[in-house]
Amino acid sequence: MARALTAAELEELLGAYAIDAVDDDERAQIEAWLDRSPNARRDADELRETASLLAQSDDDVPADLWVRIETHLGDPADLSAGDQGDASTGRGVPPLRLGEVVDLGARRDATPPAARSRRRPWLVGVAAALALIIAVGVGVVAGSRLDDQDQRIDQLAVGMEKRSMERAALAATMQPGARTAELAASDTDPMMAKVVVTPDGHGYFMSDGLPALASGRTYQLWAVMGDAPGSAVVSAGVMGAKPGVMAFTTDAGVTGFVVTEEPSPGVVRSTQPPMLQGRLA
């Protein structure tokens, strides 16, 4: 095990990491760092996207490659490796394990329609019995695939929604007259979240590295209405255990925001001390 890299060294290695030019130990340390730092993750993603623009020239793909891929679409995914690796690079995925190349044209030619029509009658009964067994088997597999499918679609939908919300938040930040509040545990602590409020009362909360809470706990956002001591504090939304970007609406009189940790599904009135707070600028 190599020595632990400093934050400055990790930052310096981000370019080499984005183009797969670091060694395994460095990559492991960088990925652990990226898991803790959304800003660094965004940087790495952008550097990787930049590098991918260097590789846009299309080559002539072999004509039969799609046919080979299509042949394997029904194969079960190999989940034996356990570690699914980094999603963005395919690192840590199982080694190449490709099936034989199947020439579908040749296979079709080998069984001409005339030959199929000359099957003996007793084979029809055997085939029907086999078809029933296969149908039951396919039913079981199909049921399991439908469960998988629901999960896959849910995950994809969450991804799409998250991206659309991030875009809306970014647009709000750039809107004339928008006010922002940087939320931190104290004036001397680093910012952990940002809130932007547009003049028409649309607000977005953007987490910047808030740690995930334990099961049964949730973050809750509160809007501070007014400057006077004892100003009213109203709930602006319950954000879950691992907030990303959340939209809410508020009143023009809002002057700041507070985040507390509460039992799920949130509370009407908090008795908890603020975890984060910040004033709208």
Shortest separation between residue 66's beta carbon and other proteins, angstroms: 6
10 to 69, contacts with other proteins by CB under 8 A? Answer: 11-16, 18-23, 41, 45-62, 65-66, 68-69
CA distance 82 to 172: 41
128 to 187, contacts with other proteins by CB under 8 A? Answer: 145, 149, 151-153, 155-157, 159-160, 162-163, 166-167, 170
The answer to whether 240 contacts other proteins (rule: CB under 8 A) is no
CA distance 262 to 259: 10
Nearer CB in complex with other proteins: 49/200: 49
Pattern of binders to other proteins over 94-133, x per CB under 8 A? --x-x-----------------------------------
Q: Which stretch binds other proteins (CB under 8 A): 85-93, 106-114, 191-199, 261-269?
A: 85-93
Total site size for other proteins, rule CB under 8 A: 65
Q: How many CB atoms lie within 10 A of CB 280?
A: 19
224: closest CA among 238, 214, 234, 215?
A: 234
Where does this chain bind other proteins (CB under 8 A)? 11-16, 18-23, 41, 45-62, 65-66, 68-70, 72-73, 75, 77, 84, 86-91, 93, 96, 98, 145, 149, 151-153, 155-157, 159-160, 162-163, 166-167, 170
